[in-house]
Amino acid sequence: MPAVYFLKQWELPEYYFGRVGVTELSFADPDSAFSLKIRQKPGSPMMGFSMSGKTQRDFPEVDEIGKFIDAFERGDFDAYCWHDLSEGLRQICEEADDEIRTKAMRVISLWRWRDKAAGPVEIIDKPSVSPELYWRLETSGKYQGVPRPEGIFACIDRNASRGFDPRTIETEAFNKLWAEAKCGEPLGHQMLREALQISHHSPNAALLISYSALEVGLKQHLSTQIPGAEWILKEAPTPPVPKIFKHYLPEVHGCQGVFKIAGERLRLWKTLEEFTKARNALAHRGTTDEVKLVIYLQLTQNLLYLLDWLAGHTWAEDNFSPEFRNAFCPKNSPP
């Protein structure tokens, strides 16, 4: 059956590769026609990069598409309107647009989770100029813009302060993440991202959100590790977070050595208990004596990646801070 080939492009000036000498990488979904290519823009590493996503759809009425492409090439834009497309053609355009946007967003979300890259929770944003959808009828050659309905905007958000390492998207570990249909950046990590985003101008809110991120992360982790526990974990209040990490998780995973309280581990547990007291003081009385917000945010991030590590994502160890790795993750204690 004849096919139509679609393309979307984004300019991402604030994303950059975190490795000198890398200028391009590609990703292809093995189960569909979707592919993504990211290129370093010319100039310094901070100049950002451009990204293009592709897919294709079978469509028997290629003459209809050819008519619009001919009108575009003639400059007859009065004959190049969204409402002139047939219902079937509109549908495949919308499906292709949604597939490219959604999968590109998922690649970035998995990538930044995998690399501990900073950035806001929202990946899709509304810019002043919408990236267009393009099409063509041949496997090679020039793309033409698809007629677009008014008011549709979509792009990958441009806020990130740490470069991605392209080596991670090329690994077996990333392909495994991609292959798990329900796998995405966990909600706890997304909530922490929100806390980091507002930490400078709303430190109290950031503290509450980051602690909630720990609670959510714990509940979601335990619901996947304990058969039949999803309902009770969803409905019941969250037990004290320090007790779960210190006493319950070692029982669930059978890895007492990883959680042994000694030296540096003891200091980290004390910090978690201080974090809990600061959160309770702020939530119940609206005040707290001393908020060590940066320390608490880093601890939250470490503990969320610890949950990922215990869930079998061995790459999460790379995202521990050096102090945390020394305290919790001896090389001879696999999850």
Q: Say what the pLDDT of residue 127 is.
A: 44
- Residues 170 and 58 both lie in one domain: yes
- Residues 195 and 322 both lie in one domain: yes
Whether 335 is covered by a domain: the verdict is no
Domain count, the chain: 2
Q: Which domain holds residue 151?
A: 3-177
Q: Say what the pLDDT of residue 62 is.
A: 76
Quote the CA–CA distance of 304 and 220 in Å, as a whole number: 11
Whether 235 is covered by a domain: the verdict is yes
- Residues 131 and 70 both lie in one domain: yes
- Residues 220 and 313 both lie in one domain: yes
Whether 172 is covered by a domain: the verdict is yes
Whether 333 is covered by a domain: the verdict is no
| Residue 154 CB contacts under 8 Å (≥ 6 apart), including other chains | 97, 101, 124, 126, 130, 131
> In the chain, how long is the greatest CA-to-CA distance?
75
Q: Contact 183/107 with Cβ under 8 angstroms?
A: no
Whether 288 is covered by a domain: the verdict is yes
- Residues 266 and 118 both lie in one domain: no
CA 197 to chain CA centroid, nearest Å: 15
- Residues 171 and 191 both lie in one domain: no
- Residues 24 and 164 both lie in one domain: yes
**Domain C-terminal end among 160, 177, 194:** 177
Q: What pLDDT digit, counting tens, does each position of 34-70 carry?
A: 999 988 777 655 567 788 999 999 888 778 888 877 7
Q: Say what the pLDDT of residue 71 is.
A: 74
- Residues 130 and 208 both lie in one domain: no
Q: What pLDDT digit, counting tens, does each position of 155-199 carry?
A: 333 333 456 777 777 678 888 888 887 788 999 999 999 998 888
| Residue 315 CB contacts under 8 Å (≥ 6 apart), including other chains | 114, 168, 171, 173
Whether 334 is covered by a domain: the verdict is no
- Residues 163 and 200 both lie in one domain: no
Q: Say what the pLDDT of residue 57 is.
A: 92
**Domain C-terminal end among 137, 156, 177:** 177
User: How many CA atoms does the CB half-sphere of 258 hold within 13 Å?
Assistant: 24
- Residues 15 and 126 both lie in one domain: yes
Q: Say what the pLDDT of residue 5 is.
A: 93
**Domain C-terminal end among 177, 194, 224:** 177
- Residues 213 and 278 both lie in one domain: yes
Whether 35 is covered by a domain: the verdict is yes
Quote the CA–CA distance of 212 and 288 in Å, as a whole number: 17
Q: Say what the pLDDT of residue 156 is.
A: 34
Q: Say what the pLDDT of residue 160 is.
A: 39
Q: Say what the pLDDT of residue 197 is.
A: 84
Whether 107 is covered by a domain: the verdict is yes
Low-confidence ranges of the chain (pLDDT < 50): 126-129, 151-161, 332-335
Question: Is 135 strand, coil or helix?
Answer: strand
- Residues 150 and 251 both lie in one domain: no
